[in-house]
Structure 1
Amino acid sequence: MVTRMEGLGCSYEEIPMPLITLTFDYCGHDSKDGEPERDRAGEQRARHAIERLGAVDIQCVDDIEPPMDCQADFIVRAFGDDHSYCAFTAHAVPKLRAQGFRVEIDKDYPFQVVDPQTPWFAAIEPCDDELPDWFSLELGVEVDGKRVDLLPLVLELIDRAGEGEGGLTSLERGFPSTYSMRVTDTHNVTMTNERLRALLHVVIELWQGAKPKEGKMVFPGVRAPALVPLHETFREEGTRISWRDPEHVAERAFGVMSRPKKAPRPAALRATLRSYQEEGLAFLQHLRANGVGGVLADDMGLGKTLQTIAHICTEKEQGRLDYPVLIVAPTSLTGNWQRELGKFAPHLKVTLFRGPGRHALWGELPGSDVVITTYPILVRDEERLSKQHFHMAVLDEAQAIKNTTSLANKAIKMIDADHRLCLTGTPVENHLGELWALFDFLNPGLLGDEPSFRRCYRGPIEVLKDEDRLEMLREQIAPYILRRMKREAASELPEKTEMMRLVHLSGNQRELYEQIRVAAHTEVRKVIKSKGLAASAVPIFGALLRLRQVCCDPRLVQLNAARGVRQSAKYDAFFELLEGLLAAGHRVLVFSQFTTMLGLLGDGLAEREIPYLTLTGATVDRQAKCDAFENGLADVFLLSLKAAGTGLNLVSADIVIHYDPWWNPAVQLQATDRAYRIGQQRPVFVYNLAVAGSVEERVMLMQQNKQRVSTMLLGDKPQQTPGLTAEDVETLFSPLEDGERGGHVRATPRVVHAVHEDVSSGAA
């Protein structure tokens, strides 16, 4: 049995379709020569075998008129596109041959396919001196002895994906199960959906808009780990990639993507590391060994400081600490670093480089093991510090450089350090540009420049809600970020219960809220109409600020209409709650972002003769205040959310009250973690006070969406998308309602119970 496959134009819109001619070989005689002794039953079985593969008897097709000289017996219509025709060839030819057919393929047949098991080649070559540490990449197969680079074809697909909503996700939904790429006039490379996706993803990560050089795709070496998932996909499908890589770029990439090896605890460290902290040490050592920077993004209270100190001790113990380690921290946390280093690693020589007398210490820096300074000092002494070589630069509360135009961001990039590390529990607070800022310091070039990152990731993710791009970004940064949640890492922690306690406005306070709301809503609508939503952020948030102040206490509002309003439902509810908690023997942290509100609460505590302490940005000796509270000098600690939300250990408290909600739930969570951290022995209760049906309750509901991109990047996959829309603005400025109950705050992994309570203004 002989089948001959051709591709001829037929009258059906002159689209080339696969044609099959079937002949039977009787001892050298073609069945069409009229051999009298024929196996009619066998011939019929052969025809059925071809038809089962999807071919149709050409005489039975009414809407196609083959050319007069066409001798074909069958035609393959499939779905009428190259992908289906190539899929037919890839599937039918081996099937027919396995059944005893001799298959001949016309040299001009346009749907020939490269054997799927043909080894692929990958060539990584260094670019010229104009692009140091940049490489060109070819990736493809051999066709008739000639290497064919498929990356230009993949780039064409990506260009198409950039058009229209949905981007790459929309494109991939349209992929057939077997995709073909035409590489010559007659030959095609077919690949599974999984292999094509892997190709698209690796090209996007490597490419990010870089202009081809001499017709080849180029990429910085720091992005080479993107090649590893592609290699794994090919290996799982049984296809080998032959690497030509004289600079061992792929080898280094596999090192970055490999699992961190266990690192021994340094002998000089005066601390017992928990198992997850040992994993953190292994992660930090892994980053250093592979020459890349990373983010230790553990939940607040899990000991990022201790893990970093253990890392420094290991470097010292193994003889690699030839130059000092620079630690840059907020001013309020430098003392904490000095104490922790003295406690856990007293053998290290530590220099605290801050204050007016710091210049006298300049000569001590080269001989120090650790130099501690602040972000403001880094900016002021940028030129001088940039001349000192450091073994490692560590940024504590690294979100301080999230603004790419800030002086701190520019100054830290001038520091000469062999290794770079960021410590932050919130790598993304508001938008993906903050993540780019961190990685531009840690591994410049990994996420491309800012415009290409915006085009490849921020736009598709934040505007088009492209889930596939979000997952790609998560996979790209995953090797460089270690994130553990408190409940998962520290099982010895007690329970934490979060409660939303709603209060209801009435009387003059309610009238004041509505009066301000109506005026503000009208003004905001005018601004949006004239400037657009994107350019109206300042007036929108200014108007919302006044509404939030009314909810806290009318005395915060600097308007004539508020002067005569003395009623405050939340103020009264707070003291009712507080007095009950103190009577039960609890110790309480109270957070507000309004320092004036803390002053009013302080006055109320003094009137009731309740001892208290206060910590704001104006507090000179933060640690002295914290020590006083921990030593029991007072049971109530009033704290500014901005000044005291990080870097403090207040585990003697078991109650946290957030007097007013903030837009970013991660900031509130950090503040809560002043009490809910390693060392806490009692269950912790968190009260979120909010006015029912007001902008406050709606803000708390919107907080859930705020975390979406951040949590996705750190491993979770929530379902909603963030972003302040015109609809959000209308919701925030909608009339005050009683009993708006959509508002259960979604429980995070650290929340064991979520309770919703109401407190009426009458009860208060």
Structure 2
Amino acid sequence: LLSIRSLNPKITKNGRILCEVPPPILRYLRRKSQVKESENSKKLVIHEEPLKRRAEINYDPATGLHIKTGYEMPGFEITLPKSSLKVTPDGEYVKIGYDFFKYPREENPLVKEWIDAEYIHVDLDHVPEFFMRDLILMKLHFKAVLNEEAEKIRVIEDDFIPRISIDTGEKGWLDFSVQYQVGNYVLPHNLVERTQSHYLRLNETTWIKIDKRKVKELEKHLRELEIVRTDEGYRLPIIKFVSLEEFINQIGGIRVVSKEYQRFLDEITDFQYNEEYRLPPQVERDLTSSEIKLRGYQRAGIHWLNWLTTHHLHGILADDMGLGKTIQMITAMRLAYEDSKEKTHSLIICPRSVVKHWSNEIKRVYPTIRIYEYRGPNRDREVFKRAEPHMIITTYETVARDIEIIKNFPFFFVILDEGTRIKNPQTKRAKAIKRINCLHRFVLTGTPIENRPAELWSIFDFLMRGHLGTYREFIFRFERPIIDGDESAAEFLAKRIRPFILRRKKEEVEQELPEKIEMNEWCGLTEEQKALYDRLQKIKVSPIREALLKGKYVNYATSILPIITKLKQVCDHPALITGKKEPLLGRSEKFDYVANKIQQIIEDDESVVLFSHFLGTLDLFELFLRRKGIGYIRLDGSTRNRQILIDKFNERRVPVALCSILAAGRGINLTAANHVIHIDRWWNPAVEDQATDRVHRIGQVKTVYVYKILTEGTLEEKIDMLIEKKRDISDKVIGAATWGEPRWTREEILEILEPIST
């Protein structure tokens, strides 16, 4: 009775007591024998197991998830919301019909939140996140019932693997698309890029989780590639194919390549040089008529250059000196011009000493192309506007001065001869050249690296900007490790540049080389030389020219030859005229050029013979060699113990022989050398040939390189032209001196004594 009283009962009119009896009291009363229970009361059942939580998850593809939460009605697939439950006053049981069930205690805050909510809506953007996180917890605490559409939902969290599809596009370009392989699905990058959420909805029931970190990393590398966006994907210059391949490796991507691109890769990584490469018939005929016989390695070089040009790639032809780089390059340029019908000019930038050499070789290889030597104070700056294509030959110094003009014109080719002249990227010269706009870029050099690896970076910065990273990156990634002996860094650098460099050494092709290669090297006059030359012309030459122009007789031996000799001495060195030997360097371009050539030859562990017909010139070189600590012998008319000196040279105890062309031009053997320098031209080419034969004779096992050093714009240039036109000039000069009989024509003398060229 006390237990009943605690339930706050109500007394009816007929005296009955009414109250809600909680299960614990009911269970207690049922144990008392004095308590009688009605039939209806007996129907009440007390269950000790708690009600089961239930969640009905319905998916509507248009609106998202609709979730009802509550408790499952025992024996029925019905969800009872919390608000519909009849809870006993003590809060321990729930009465459903005649049954009492334990009321679950919700200790988990999220479960309690869901039960209290009774209805939850998850919009489409959050469906995948719910399925990957909340649904797992819901299934742990609820009986989760998904409708048919919800059962179909799939959220894919497989690896997010970039997939790069590459094809060769327009000439000079690579087209590629970026996708992502996720399981069996392939997603376009632009679709992923536009998705703000962490999940991409593929269809009504499928989402893919986006690896934002992977996408961000890929986009960072894409920006570094400096790509161009297209409607289909991306595009970048074909010269950056190595960067594209590295990009794929960096992002852990899958390569999908077209047959054309794979063929391109196969060819460039293992290029098969064709030493029997045939040129168009007219080109072959022109070469033959110019007495140019291409050797197998040269045909292979032209094949390589033409392949690079066809694929809009750039490169370095790094053959050893004397292997005919100029001929190979001009031939490849001609093939490109004739194949493309291009009307744009080409620019050849070279040392002043070889401008004439380039001009002459172009005439031999490509006789129909127009040539213009762009240099000197009277250079025509309008040449770049001419309609017909020209091969414009200029110097590094001229380009540096005129870059504000040159940069405004596009070129078909830009060729750098002796390209190491831009090895220092901070120089005005290098900066200017890298501003030039062109389609094809090539560098010719026998020494791509002279002192340090960073020189190679500057060359590639001209050829393919960014291919070796920034200058700072190159120093840290390559130069410092290589200098420290890191072979892996050296190998990686070699692998990166290998497709763009062709180098053949003399010893590799020596069986194909001719016995003798002759080259004319050109230089100019310094201001001091110009002043001396001009003074001689005014004082000595002008009266003679006036006399000749008036038809007067002039004695060749006594009047003309001494003046010609003085003018030639000015070209060698001002000291031969002024008697002032100091300073030795910086006063004669020819002297400085030969001095530098000697040092290059010695650095290659080879020997050289210098010929001059001025003893004063030999004196100056003797002084230079002593100061440099370079061993030498000297052979002239006053030399005694000649054979001892000759043996010393041939035994390679000294690398230089200074020779008077008349005193040492015959009867001796100097085969230890394979370089001959004629500092000044002798009147009779036969005398030069005899002197050269001191080196080029039986016992010589190497190719002999013969350099004739000429000063442009002076009588040396005129004499060289006459020697080539009339090989019997010796008879004219010597005959005039010996017999007093004029053997030169009046026109030839006037040409030789023509005032200095400006």
Same fold flag (TM > 0.5): no
Q: Which has the higher contact order (CA 8 A, sep 6+)?
A: 1
Superposition TM-score, scaled by structure 2 size: 0.41
Based on CA coordinates, which of the two structures has the bigger radius of gyration? Answer: 2
| TM-score of the pair, normalised by structure 1 | 0.41
